[in-house]
Amino acid sequence: MSDTPAVGTDLPVMGARIIEGPAERERIRTVVVAQPDHIAVLVAERICDTIRETVEARGRCVLGLATGSTPLGIYRELIRRHLAGEVDFSQVTTFNLDEYYPMHPDSLHSYRRFMEENLFQYVNLPPDHANVPDGTVARGDLAACCEEYEQAIADAGGIDFQILGIGRSGHIGFNEPGSPRGSRTRLITLDTITRKDAASDFFGEDNVPTEAITMGIASILDAREIALIATGEHKAPIVRRAVEEESSADVTASYLQQHPAATVWLDAAAAGELTRIRTPWVLSEVEWTPALTERATVWLAERTGTPLLKLSPTDYRENHLGGLLARHGPAGAINGEVFNALNDKVRGKSKLPHGTSVLVFSPHPDDDVISMGGILRKLWENENEIVVAYMTSGNIAVFDHDVRRHMDFVERAAADLELDPKRVRRARLRLEKDFAGKEPGEPDTDLAQDLKRYIRESEAVAAIAAVGLPRSAARFMDLPFYRTGEVRKRPIGEEDVEQVLSLLKEVKPDQIFVAGDLSDPHGTHRMCKQAIDEALLRYRGSAPEVWLYRGAWQEWTITEADVLVPLSQEELRAKIFAIFKHQSQKDVAPFPGGYDDREFWQRVRSRNLETAAAADRLGLPEYYAMEAYRIEKETGTPD
C-alpha cells in the first residue's frame, strides 16, 4: 500500500486533511477526512496507482467494485482521470460484489445497469472484462453459476483492489449478519434493515427483492487490498462496531480486521462515534481548546446525571478528565465557563435579526418548515425580508395516488373553473394509462412529473403561510441536477451554481440558511449545499452570515450548535401544523429514510423537545422546545 501522509498533514488534493487513529482502539487501519469528496479523490488515486503498478508487473489489473451512493464519487473521479489521460482501463478486469435476484440487467435497479451508467460507458474497459453476478439465472442453476463466478476471479489472477461499502446491519457485499468467515459467492436472503434502506430506490419496501447474489466473506478477504468507505452519521454506530469491537459474524465488516491491507475511509460524520472522535480524552492527553472543554464537560454532566454547575472535582477525576482539571481547574471555574458559553447560545426573538434580508435555501419543498418552522415565524415577526428558495421540485417524492386525487378534484371542478371537461378527462385517462404501465421506480412522463411538482409547490406555499409568511416569499428554483425523474441525480453543474448565484445577487441577503444535514439518504442536501458553497465563492456582494440547519433526519447537539432558539408550546404546535400542509409527505412518505420509521412531524416534535430537555438537564433555563443551528464563519467551515 502507498504511504499515507502523517496525522494532520495537508494533502495535495482539495486541501484535505486526513487523520489516522490510535491502534489500541481501532482494529483496522482507519482514515478520517472532512468531506466525502476527499475520500473519492484519495481512493481513486490509490486505484490508479494499483492499475499502473499491476499492469506493469503482470500485464493486467483486477478490481472489485461496489454499487450504491458511496462509491459514486470514486467512479466520477476515475472517469475524470481517464478522460485526462491519467489512467488506462484496457488491461483492467472488474468483478462486482453483488446483484439482486431475480434482476434483469436492463432494469432500473440492476447493478449491471448502475455500473454501465456510472463508470463502464465512460472508460475504455473492454465489455467482456466487466463481470456482474447474473440475476437472470434459473434458480436451479444458481449454485453452478456462483462457482463459475468464483472460478472467473481465480482465473483472472484474483482481485488486486476491492471497494466496499457498509450497510447499517454491518454487511459488506450482501453478507448479512451471521454470514460465516469462509463463505463464497452464493444466494442470500436480505436482512430487513437492508431492504428498508433500499426501499426508496425501489419506491417502496414491498418492491425490494428479498434475495441477492453476493461474493462471500472469503471471496472479499482474498483481495490483495481493500478499501471500505462510509459516509454520513447514520453509518457512525455500525462503523464503530466494525472498527473497535472484536470481529464477529454479527457485523460482517468486522472480518476486515483479519486482512493485512484493509483500510476504512470515513468522512467526519461517519467517524463521529469512534472513541478518538467522540471522547478522545479517554485515550490520552488532549489539547484542551474551548470547544473540546465544552464537549467534555457536557459529556461528563450527561454521564453522571449532574447539572453543569454541580459537577465536582471527583466527577472529573473518576471519568478520565483529571487532565482538564490540572490544566484549567478548579472544577467550579470550568463549570461556570461552560455554563455561560452554553447559555449565550440561547437566542429568543429579541436576540434574532431585525430588519435584515434573509434567504432560506430549502433542498426539498418541506425542509424549511421541518427544520426551521419556529425561527421562520420569529424572523418574519422581526420584520425581516424573507425569501424561501426551494432548490428542487421534490416531484419524485409524490405518490401516483396523490396525482389521482388532485386530478379527480380538477375533473369535478372543471365546469366551475371554466375548463373543458372533456380535455381534463382525456388528460386524466392518459395519466391513468401511464401509471398502469410504469414499473416501480421508472421515471414518470413529463406530464406526471409536472403535476407532482405543482403539488409540492402548492403545499410549500400553504406551509409558509401557516408560519405567517406571504405566498410571495416562495421561489421555486427547480435546479437541473434534480430533473432526472429518478432517485439518482446528476452531479452539480454550472447551470445549478449560476441559478443560485443569480438569486444571491438579486436578494443580496444579510443572512442565509442552508441545510447542513449529513444524513440525507440520497445526498440531495449535500448536493444543494455544494451548489450554494460554489455560488458563494463567486458572489461579490457583502458576505452573508451562513446558518446551518438540519434536515428531517438528525439535529445538532447542544455542543455542536452555535444558536439555540427556544419555542413555546404554541410555536411548536404551529410548526407541526405547517408540516401537516405537506400532505403528499404525510402518513407514509416515499423517502422517509430507512433508519427512522416515524413521520417527519413526529421526528421534529421529539427532536425539538429533546434539545430543550437536554439543556434543562444541564441546568440551563427550562424551555418547552428548541431548534438548533450552526454558524459558518467561512464557506464550508462551521464556527
Grid coordinates belonging to 11: 494533502
Contacts (Cβ under 8 Å, ≥6 apart) of 27: 243, 244, 246, 247, 254, 257
Q: Tell me how far apart the alpha carbons of residues 615 and 298 are, in angstroms, rounded to a whole number.
A: 10
The active-site residue, picked from 77, 150, 176, 555, is 176
CB contact at 8 A, 381 and 468: yes
HSE value, Cβ hemisphere, 13 Å, CA-based, for 162: 29
Contacts (Cβ under 8 Å, ≥6 apart) of 282: 275, 320
In this structure, the number of other CB atoms found within 10 A of the CB of residue 112 comes to: 23
Listed residue (252, 255, 273, 256) closest to 264, CA to CA: 256
Q: Tell me how far apart the alpha carbons of residues 521 and 589 are, in angstroms, rounded to a whole number.
A: 13
Grid coordinates belonging to 123: 472508460
What element of type H or E holds 162? strand 161-164
Grid coordinates belonging to 500: 443560485
Report DSSP letters for 474-492, one per residue.
EEE---GGGTTSSSS-PPP
Roughly how many angstroms between the first and final C-alpha of the chain, as a whole number? 36
- Tally of helices (H runs) and strands (E runs) in the chain: 20, 19
User: Is-catalytic flag, 56?
Assistant: no
Q: Tell me how far apart the alpha carbons of residues 283 and 293 are, in angstroms, rounded to a whole number.
A: 15
Grid coordinates belonging to 128: 467482456
Q: Tell me how far apart the alpha carbons of residues 263 and 30 are, in angstroms, rounded to a whole number.
A: 6
| Strand blocks (E) in 534-615 | 545-549, 563-567
Grid coordinates belonging to 72: 459514486
Q: Look up residue 247 and give its amino acid.
A: S
Backbone φ/ψ region at 550: left (φ over 0), alpha (ψ -120 to 50), beta: beta
CB contact at 8 A, 327 and 288: yes
HSE value, Cβ hemisphere, 13 Å, CA-based, for 200: 22
Q: Tell me how far apart the alpha carbons of residues 441 and 109 are, in angstroms, rounded to a whole number.
A: 8
CB contact at 8 A, 37 and 267: no
Contacts (Cβ under 8 Å, ≥6 apart) of 7: 18, 19, 20
Q: Look up residue 458 and give its amino acid.
A: S
Q: Tell me how far apart the alpha carbons of residues 568 and 576 are, in angstroms, rounded to a whole number.
A: 12
Residues that are catalytic = 176
